[in-house]
């Protein structure tokens, strides 16, 4: 390997350890991971679950497009659902992808593909 390639590999190793944060492995056997959400207390967790369920009810009822009258507290806190989605969004991983794209610009990828074809 060339020195430049070794430096790039070391950079990728460092970035990987710093940026792959959204998923944490449970164990190495079955490749299962955990993604965490942060809530203040059980009440907020219950609110998240209830709002997700209400959103699913509305999504399933194409005609009515509203939470049934039998469900207490019919409004859906879309902001809360979006907050959870933002917590799960893998922004650090996108940073890693960006850094890798800088290390390996499109021109050099085309050169590597040509080398592999030969």
Three-state secondary-structure class, residue 73: coil
Buried b (16+ CB within 10 A) or exposed e, 32-41: eeeeeeebee
Residue 4 pLDDT exceeds 80: yes
33-92 residue pLDDT tens = 899 999 999 999 999 998 898 888 777 776 666 666 767 777 778 898 899 999 999 988
Which pLDDT belongs to residue 39?
93
For 77, other C-beta atoms within 10 Å of its C-beta total 15
pTM for the model stands at 0.61
């Amino acid at each position: 390997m060339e020195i430049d390639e070794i430096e790039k590999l070391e950079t990728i190793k460092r970035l990987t350890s710093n940026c792959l944060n959204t998923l944490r492995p449970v164990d190495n056997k079955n490749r299962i991971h955990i993604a965490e959400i942060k809530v203040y207390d059980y009440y907020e967790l219950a609110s998240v679950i209830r709002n997700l369920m209400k959103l699913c009810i509305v999504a399933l009822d194409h005609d009515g497009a509203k939470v049934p009258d039998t469900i207490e507290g019919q409004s859906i806190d879309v902001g809360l659902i979006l907050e959870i989605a933002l917590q799960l969004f893998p922004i650090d991983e996108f940073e890693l992808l960006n850094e890798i794209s800088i290390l390996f610009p499109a021109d050099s990828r085309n050169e590597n593909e040509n080398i592999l074809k030969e």
